[in-house]
Amino acid sequence: MKKIFVSILLSFCLLKASADEGMWLPMLLGQQVYDNMVKKGLKLTKEQLYSVNGSSLKDAILIFGGGCTGEIVSNEGLIFTNHHCGYAAIAGASTVEHNYLEDGFYAFNKGQEIKSELTVQFLDRIVDVTKEVEEGFKGLAWADRAAKTQEVYKTITDKVLDKENGLAGRVYSMFKGNQYLMYVYKTYRDIRLVGAPPEKVGKFGGDTDNWEWPRHTGDFSIFRVYAAKDGKPADYNEGNTPLKPKYFLPVSIKGIKDGDYAMIYGYPGSTNRYETSYGIKLKNEIENPSLVNLRDVRLKLMHGQMIKNPAVKLKLASNYAGIANYWKFYDGETKQLIKFKTFEQKQAYEKKFADWAKGKPEYENIFDGYEKNYAAWTPYSKQRQYLNEGILGSPLAAFAASLIGIETNLVKTGISSAEIKKSIEAAGVIRKTFLTAEDKISDEQILAKMAMIFYTDIDKSQHPIGFYQSIKTSYGDLRDDETFKKWAKDVFAQTMIFDDVKWAAFTARPDATVLQADPAFAYAAAFVKNYNLKYASLYAAFTSKNAELGKSYLKGIMEMNPTAASKMYPDANFSMRVSYGNVKSYSPGNAVKYDYLTTAKGILDKYIAGDYEFDLPAKQIELLKKRDFGQYIDKGRNDLVIDFITTNDITGGNSGSPVIDGSGNLIGLAFDGNYEALSHKITFDKDLNRTICVDVRYVLWCIDKLGGAKNIINELKLVK
């Protein structure tokens, strides 16, 4: 019998929910929260939502690939998730001759399903380990806890490690260090691609429509989880059989209407809704603008090559999509934080807290601490962003930087030849992957541009000593683009990373001097070492102090508002959550009203033949014009519904999450948020926040009518 040992104190919850705000722990739904869910239209019991001993909705929800959510939709382990979650696997299975990313793919029987490198994880149980963690930290100053954290966690998770059954624990810091929970997951390693629409469907609207409503994107893909014949997790083997799940979601084709109940299960990645005004200021003025500007440069240089060559587009597609996604997010986040005066709101609340804290030694100096901490780190924040998003934004530089560990082994005394050989072999494996994904033309341009931008934008006192002087001596004026282009060209021509003969010679007789002389390594190492030697310790001290202050601040907030506990929830941290709300239209501005759904008519209106973002497969245009919608038609609209919006509270990590009706049936897949509420990691807007979902009827139409994969439809439990 499984038991959940959880003793979360409601007095340590973080956030007071308003309207449909809240990412709730499904195993700990308070009565008031559950009652609100029922009022909105939930017809299930708490036990049906989350059962300790029996099967329940939570057993159909899984972590997909480490960064998304998926759901089981059949008794044979069939998984639905987003197209962008399966994107890398689809691209990896594709070739120029069999371009599944471009053309789509459906397995018409299990023998046609394609092996992937993905894993999925099911939640097995939860254990409260607060006592054990605090015992491990006993006697340590706060600043020393970070170095000890992984060791403490490992001591705890080792107790539940069961490789044969795929079980492993993961400790989550809940409530800013006031609570620690260990989630035990069962990981399955044989995951196969079953289906995906053409990219023109799965990514319709591209970057232009990303984070926008109205939307007409068929953002879904289909996989299957396999197990050994005894049901245990196993590596890929043709003899493995589809997993028999504890629970799977029925699929409703009844349709939706404005006001319908909507519930989303999944793994939201992170929120920081008790961020301070100091954090908002740093984000708005330095962190976000730097990231957006640097990613904008990289995207333009990559895109310039992708539109010229289908093979390059396929090679860079997954990386480009990932960069673009949060380029637009952080741009929108800053604009919304400024628009809604979040900084000023935080300041007002902090003043209220400071007034309350007077005469309370545990709390009265918290904001003096914040002010000093941010003042100490802010001068170096931009440089850190320019290193991570700029210098290491070049794939060549990022790989070269990974070789610093080899250099360390070569110059350090007491390192055995076996250890050196192991690190060399590991680098060889990574190099092979890097070369497969590398586009030299765009990367050379990125390398040149980022080196110049760092020189121009970052205070000269923070530059690596001697690096830019060496470029000036050999190549000319540092204010001239051509100087850096000539330098980058030589880096690419002379590095051993691209030269199999030179690489083989180095790995046969590894020598630190040879590695240090390599121009790509010398470039990356100069910047990484500069940061590590001068600034890494400052950043560690900054984050450690923020964590210490944050724990005290949140504890103080709860003491200041002791009656609000039942309406509060913890920040997202990629642990299982459930949010609830309604399908709902909204008005983003004066005289503007957005409907709660989009239809096939809208796709045809947006369609632009041959366009990079708004083209459509010829067969889809034909079917839509014929109005061949089959059983998936929305009778109220007399059309095929594509996407819809809800008021649910989600964030990154919820991609692929099931959108579930009041009876527990799947009605859609969450895949995006709306631009007007991109400040949602920091603050929830009760009027404008919307989750964008692909309607499951459009998913089924694409599988059945567009893809011809009736076998997949037959596997589902349809609710009509």
pLDDT in tens, 69-104: 999 999 999 999 999 999 999 999 998 899 999 999
| Res 66: pLDDT | 86
SS3 118: coil
Helix (H, G, I), strand (E, B) or coil at 575: coil
| 255 and 342 part of one domain | no
Mean pLDDT of 392-412: 96
pLDDT, tens digit, 9 for 90 and up, residues 634-663: 999 999 999 999 999 999 999 999 999 999
pLDDT at 4 over 80: no
pLDDT at residue 562, rounded to an integer: 81
Residue 297 pLDDT > 50, yes or no? yes
**What residues does 568 pair with on adjacent strands?**
16
pLDDT in tens, 518-566: 999 999 999 999 999 999 999 999 999 999 999 999 989 888 988 765 5
Say if residue 490 is in the same domain as residue 528. yes
DSSP 158-226: TTT-BGGGTEEEEEEEEGGGTEEEEEEEEEE-EEEEEEE--HHHHTTTHHHHTT-SS------EEEEEE
For residues 165-193, give the mean pLDDT.
Answer: 95
Residue 561 lies in a domain: no
Separation between Cα atoms, residue 353 and residue 331, nearest integer Å: 30
* Rounded Cα distance, 118 and 232, in Å: 17
Task: Tell me, yes or no, whether 181 and 80 share the same domain.
Answer: yes
**Region of poorest pLDDT, from 263-277, 362-376, 562-576, 615-629:** 562-576
- Helix segments in 58-141, DSSP class H: 83-93, 100-103, 130-137
Do 313 and 228 lie in one domain? The reply is: no
411 located within any domain: yes
Residue 687 within any structural domain of the chain: yes
| For residue 590, pLDDT beyond 80 | yes
* Residue 290 scores a pLDDT above 70: yes
Question: How confident is the model over 422-448, as a mean pLDDT?
Answer: 96
For residue 9, the model assigns a pLDDT of: 36
Same domain, 409 and 383: no
Single residue among 480, 514, 534 that ends a domain in this structure = 534
Residue type, 184: V
User: Do 262 and 294 share a domain, yes or no?
Assistant: no
Task: Identify whether the C-beta of residue 707 lies closer than 8 Å to the C-beta of residue 202.
Answer: no
Q: What pLDDT, on a 0 to 100 scale, did the predictor assign at position 19?
A: 66
pLDDT category of residue 354 using cuts at 50, 70 and 90: very high
Cα distances from 710 to residues 76, 109, 167, 364, 463, in angstroms, run 16, 10, 35, 65, 60
Is the CB of residue 478 less than 8 Å from the CB of residue 451? no
**Dist. CA 160–CA 2, nearest whole Å:** 13
pLDDT (tens digit per residue) in 115-152: 999 999 999 998 999 999 999 999 998 888 888 999 99
Q: Indicate if the pLDDT at residue 10 is higher than 50.
A: no
Segment 618-645 mean pLDDT? 97
Judge contact between 678 and 268, C-beta under 8 A: no
The residue written with tokens 């624990």 in the block is: 169
Q: Which of 514, 534, 554 is the last residue of a domain?
A: 534
**Same domain, yes or no: 401 and 388:** no
> Is the same domain home to 157 and 248?
yes
pLDDT at 314: 84
Res 370 pLDDT > 90 = yes
466 and 353 in one domain? no
* Domain-ending residue, one of 534, 558, 591: 534
Same domain, 172 and 194: yes
Q: Is residue 540 part of a domain?
A: no
Residue in the structure block whose two tokens are 């708004």: 614
Q: Specify the residue for token string 């799977």.
A: 248
Query: Tokens 């909705």, residue?
Result: 57
Look at residue 127 and give its three-state secondary structure: strand
Domain presence at residue 50: yes
The pLDDT score that the predictor gives to residue 338 is 95
Query: What backbone torsions phi and psi does residue 568 show, to the nearest 5 degrees?
Result: -120, 160
Whether 160 is covered by a domain: the verdict is: yes
pLDDT tens-digit series, residues 311-324 = 998 889 888 988 98
* Tokens encoding 204: 């319709």
Residues 100 and 232 both lie in one domain: yes
Are residues 338 and 385 part of one domain? Answer: yes
Structural domain that includes position 261: 10-267+568-719
Alpha-helical runs (H) found in 417-535: 417-437, 440-457, 467-475, 481-494, 500-508, 512-517, 519-534
**For residue 12, is pLDDT > 50?**
no
Looking at per-residue confidence, does 12 or 267 come out higher?
267
Q: Taking Cα atoms as reference points, which of 261, 268, 273, 264 lies closest to residue 36?
A: 261
What does DSSP say about strands 190-196 and 241-242: parallel, antiparallel, or unpaired?
A: unpaired
Tokens of 141: 């100053």
- Average pLDDT of the chain, as a whole number: 94
Q: Amino acid identity, residue 471?
A: I
Active site residues: 84, 219, 655
Q: How many domains does the chain have?
A: 3
pLDDT at 8: 36
In a domain, 442, yes or no: yes
Residue 564, pLDDT score: 66
What does DSSP assign to residue 630?
A: G
Asked if residue 558 belongs to a domain, the reply is: no
CATH number of the domain residue 121 falls in: 2.40.10.120
- The greatest distance separating any two alpha carbons of the chain, rounded to the nearest whole angstrom, comes to 75
